[in-house]
Chain A
Amino acid sequence: MTDFEPKIIGFLCNWCSYAGADLAGVSRFQYPPNMRQIRVMCSGRIHPSFILQAFKEGADGVLVAGCHTPNDCHYISGNFKTERRVAILKKLLEQLGLEPERLRLEWISASEGEKFSKTVLEMTNELRKLGPSPIKEE
């Protein structure tokens, strides 16, 4: 399983995490090229079906990144809704036979470029150990 390279979809909120990912870029913090990012205005926009769809399409992992709780969310409380949704979804994933670690929630602020790059690095390494997702569409 040494040459397995996981596929990750990252949902990044515009105000904190996407900005943090941009900062990782301007700071040249290197991380593995395994993630494909999707910008949304708020992590609270991420409908559970988006995450399930990502796994269905063959993602080995999904990152949901938003503004720090309690106060950072640009839209006041979108991140709290995300927190609850992700918690429930993890249970659902288990029932579907997916390791809940494949779904990761992180709060990454606009000034945390390093945290962003570390998160992607850690996640990629963990997924490398975990191996390919058992759910892949035929």
Chain B
Amino acid sequence: MKPVLVIGGGITGIQTSLDLANRGIKVHLIEKTSSIGGVMSQLDKTFPTNDCSMCILAPKMIECSRNENIKIHTMSEVIEIKGEAGDFKVKIIEHPRSVDVEKCTGCGICSEKCPIKVRSEYQSGTGYRKAIYLPFPQAVPLIATIDRTNCLWFSKEICRICEKFCPSKAINYDQVETISEIEVASIVLAQGAEAFNPEVLTEYGYGVYPNVVTSLEFERIMSATGPFNGQILRSSDKIKPKKIAFLQCIGSRDSRVGNSYCSSVCCMYAIKEAVIAQEHDPNLDTTIFFIDIRAFGKEFEDYYTQAEKGNKIRFIRSRISSIEEIPETKNLEISYESNGEIKKEIFDMIILSVGLEPPKELNNFSLSIDLKLNKYGFVQTENFSPVDTSLPGIYVAGVLSGPKDIPDSISQASAAAVRAASNLRIEYEETNYSIYQEKNVEDKIPRIGVFVCHCGTNIGSVVDVPSVVEYVKNLPNVIYAEENLFTCSQDTQKKIIHLIKEHELNRIVVASCSPRTHEALFQATLQEAGLNPYLFEMANIRDQCSWVHMHEHEKATQKAKDLVRMAISKARLLKPLTKPVTNVTQSALVIGGGISGITAALEIADQGYLVHLVEKEGELGGNFKKIKYLPSGDDPEKFLKNLKSQVSENKNIITHLNSKINSIFGYLGNFESVISKDKETTRIKHGVVIVATGGLEYKPKEYLYGTPGIITQLEFEELLSKSYKPESIVMIQCVGSRCEERSYCSRICCTGAISNALKAKELNPDSEIFILFKDIRTYGFKEDYYREAAEKGIIFIRYDDENKPEVSNDGKIKINVLDPVLKQKLVINPEVLVLSSAIIPQEDSKELSGILKVPLSKDGFFLEAHMKLRPLDFATEGIFLCGLAHAPKTIDECISQALGAAARSITILSKKEIETEGVIAIVDEKICCGCQLCLNVCEYNAIEIRNIEGKMRSHIIPEICKGCGVCAATCPSGAITIGHFTDDEILSQIKNAFKEVIA
């Protein structure tokens, strides 16, 4: 089976590689710099959860380096691609590191000794590195590189100091570039984007005024691993700024620089940077100057509201035309218009929210293979095939095809993985679970290693980490304890493995973030060191300590000590556990037959797995049936017709129309569901579930909806398709969105309204069209439609919550609205009033969430496992989601997510058997009296009664038990306990909660 080539080692390329590798496909991952990680590795925090960016990225980077199916080529570039889908020949050039990768240990002594300082790319130029350097502490692989342009040996033939000091003799000045050729079946492009360089906009003085920085530079300035170790300082005088401003749309929505598109992410990252900067200094005065705030993603609007109302960040709607520096203070003056007045204001520091541009080398690369780019130079994709490029067998994901945020990039990454696999003839090898030899330490005296994480400044700025380490060193059985800047980084994993061997540690405690995100990473480290993964315990001193007691340093430190002591007390008692292996039912259940469900079902079926597609209505299509036009000109009706015929022709798809889900039981790889149609029920078995139940158009209670001539956008679209040509039209945006009842933005209504307005204008060029809006959120390339609408004479009038449009309808529609520019009330009498109403969750979401035992978000949409890095997974393994069930989104985004959910599903379906959780119930048959109380409380029928030497005793069926522990809490004789949560372990945590108690 031929491998797949993934170009670009950012978060997108990493996710694509993992989704391919986890279904047994070999991957070559090409990265031009010396480490994978991309731009996400440079970010301090991520919106809207304020997660520490490196903390959530590092486990994925390490997973990538550990995966045997992924070959990472750093310092490498693709120089030639020949052949066709299924059979590409690719030439790769690997630039010399001048360091032997086999010998380098990443100790960093070389950089310490190197005399040459160079501006660091990782720090976006805000800090320095040496001529021989490790790009950042968590780099993967953690191997030094000599930058030959700046190295004294390569430029002047002197020095060679690194060679003298390298303890492992890894320096090799004679390395040359190597060119290799590989054969691959498909190629995924994920080279990312670049930040706009604002030097060309000389009016902002970037590069001249030291206190004008870009948003990426500010990201580094805020970071614990940044130039000032997490302190926000001005470059000019290293003093903390008291008043800062963000200027939005620098290099975006600006035709002067050729970037008329919106960069999609800058509003949110600016709000995030403003919020985080205030976390550093609660008295910081922060202003964001913007055109429209585009907080269109899942729970973004709440984040924006919280920033404005909670954090008191000032938002001023004004595009700033220039910055003047005050030479004496290096402060910065700007002028802006507010309420018709020109105001001047001085700031200590100004951050330019720079947009995204395609990578510079993309143009030449595209020419060399005849790849189609769009007019802005990003890789061209189509609405209905969002990850396919113009070349068969070559796919694209992430920001290379246009600006988007991390979750959207991740969805596309998974989507590209499944598309790339469609060119392979899949032959799977048997899964081999026990690649690591496990030492038997069960009866050994506990020798505990404790690692306490600073998490940059996330923990360290609140909790006194060194004192926690000192404290735990004195606890019994603790053989070794240390602090780490980031315990999750790859070099720390290596160190932990080394220390386990050196000190013969047999239990490990990590005090850092949440086991929900990081337990798996550390468990894999234990396995690599030959320890059973369950000999591990975490103390959550970040999410549940430093982040929630930010202003109580002493008490937070005491709590951290207590939590670590509790974890250590549990660790003393930990026992190795075995993961049961079960067979996988290699078929999928897809719930919902809209565009998302159909797409997911087709992709899974095409790759050889049986799919049950369940639709509650009598025909497939869902909301997509109501879509008549797309602003791109694509024909939705034709596309749907084609999809439906593909479904009916596909032998791997069983469609259940007019059907609903009655129940779903089981677990990863082994679900059993009951589907009902009229009074008949069908029982099906499947290995995974995809929730693609869609959403609904809100039927407005506002603005006299339902009275003659007042309709929704979908209803208007239907009329337009029947050649309705009104003379005058008013559209009102945010009807039922961004309001008290529903705080979220419905994401698609701005583009939807403009699309319908353009269609109406096309049908009747003389029609008069007004769009009343709060912010126009035509993100990405959709900005083109907004511009086109304005050019075609469609009139946009802004309203705010204090001055909502007033509507009356006595057979004649009358709308009163305040024109914010003229400061006058306008009266409009349109023929039709079109309400851009919200997208709301499907009515039966709550019921389905109960059946599946998966959560809903506060807005009623399904809640994924992690908003940033796991947008398509539920926390429960084997269940996935996509489309409007997740949150409002456009058709291409639904298709990306659906393909992505298919990719995630196939990582399970491709296996004949799979390991399940090792945390399950254990019966002590000597104590069990056979009363059978446990039988009644087990919801899974995982307990059976066996005759053991003539006595009836409970027995747990390991593959079925889910480890909830209800039986253990019920057993009157204390015969049942739960692995990793035994009575003794929990009791020792209780005993140690406030004081040291050694049982």
A interface with B by C-beta (< 8 Å): 7, 9, 14-16, 18-19, 21-33, 36-42, 44-50, 53-54, 57-59, 70-78, 81, 85, 109-112, 117
Contacts and interface: CB of A to CB of B under 8 A. Distances in A.
A22 B516 contact: yes
Interface stretch (B24-32, B193-201, B853-861): B853-861
Contacts of A18: 514, 516
B990 A50 contact: yes
Query: Which of A16, A39, A48, A59 has the most C-beta atoms of chain B within 10 angstroms of its own C-beta?
Result: A39
A60 B850 CA distance: 35
B991 A28 contact: no
Contacts of B853: 71-76
A117 B965 CA distance: 26
A110 B855 contact: yes
Interface stretch (B87-95, B246-254, B326-334, B545-553): B545-553
B559 A26 contact: no
Contacts of B966: 42, 44-45, 75, 77-78, 81
22 contacts: A18-B514, A22-B514, A25-B547, A26-B49, A26-B51, A26-B547, A33-B552, A33-B558, A36-B559, A38-B986, A38-B989, A41-B964, A45-B981, A47-B983, A50-B986, A50-B987, A58-B995, A59-B994, A71-B851, A73-B853, A75-B962, A75-B964
B470 to A, nearest CB: 20
A81 B937 contact: yes
B876 A44 contact: no
Contacts of A74: 853, 876, 964
Interface in B547-576: 547-552, 555-556, 558-559, 562-563, 566
Contacts of B542: 25
B544 A22 contact: yes
Contact of B919 (A41, A46, A72, A112): A41
Contacts of B939: 75-77
Q: Name the residue among B279, B542, B969, B978 with the largest chain A CB count within 10 angstroms.
A: B969
B444 to A, nearest CB: 26
Contacts, number: 164
B516 A19 contact: yes
A96 B964 CA distance: 29
B344 to A, nearest CB: 34
A31 B548 CA distance: 6
B858 A36 contact: no
A31 B978 CA distance: 31
B543 A25 contact: yes
Contacts of A28: 50, 279, 547-548, 550
Report the 8 A-B pairs with minimum CB-CB distance, sorted nearest first: A71-B850, A45-B965, A25-B543, A75-B964, A44-B966, A25-B547, A42-B964, A36-B993
B318 interface: no
B993 A57 contact: yes
A17 B858 CA distance: 15
B46 to A, nearest CB: 10
A42 B516 contact: no
B879 to A, nearest CB: 11
Interface string B917-952: 001000000000000000001010000000000000
Contacts of B279: 28
B53 interface: no
Contacts of B514: 18, 22, 25
A78 B544 contact: no
B858 to A, nearest CB: 5
Nearest to A50: B986
B963 to A, nearest CB: 6
B516 A57 contact: no
Interface string B970-999: 100000001001010011011101110100
B548 A36 contact: no
B653 interface: no
Nearest to A20: B855
Contacts of A40: 965, 981, 986
B99 interface: no
A117 B997 CA distance: 29
Contact of A37 (B51, B540, B919, B964): B540
Given A50-B986, A72-B855, A73-B853, A45 B964 contact: yes
Nearest to A15: B875
A21 to B, nearest CB: 5
B969 A57 contact: no
B57 interface: no
A16 B846 CA distance: 16
B863 interface: yes
A29 B50 CA distance: 12
B968 interface: yes
Contacts of A31: 548-549
A57 B863 CA distance: 38
B994 A111 contact: no
Contacts of A109: 855
A19 B875 contact: yes
A54 B995 CA distance: 12
Given A22-B514, A37-B544, A45-B966, A30 B857 contact: no
Contacts of A57: 990-991, 993-994, 997
B849 interface: yes
Contact of B515 (A32, A39, A70): A39
Given A15-B855, A38-B990, 5 more contacts: A26-B50, A44-B964, A71-B853, A75-B964, A81-B937
A39 B981 CA distance: 9
Interface string B129-148: 00000000000000000000
A125 to B, nearest CB: 16
Give the residue among A75, A77, A78, A81 with the most B Cβ atoms within 10 A. Answer: A75
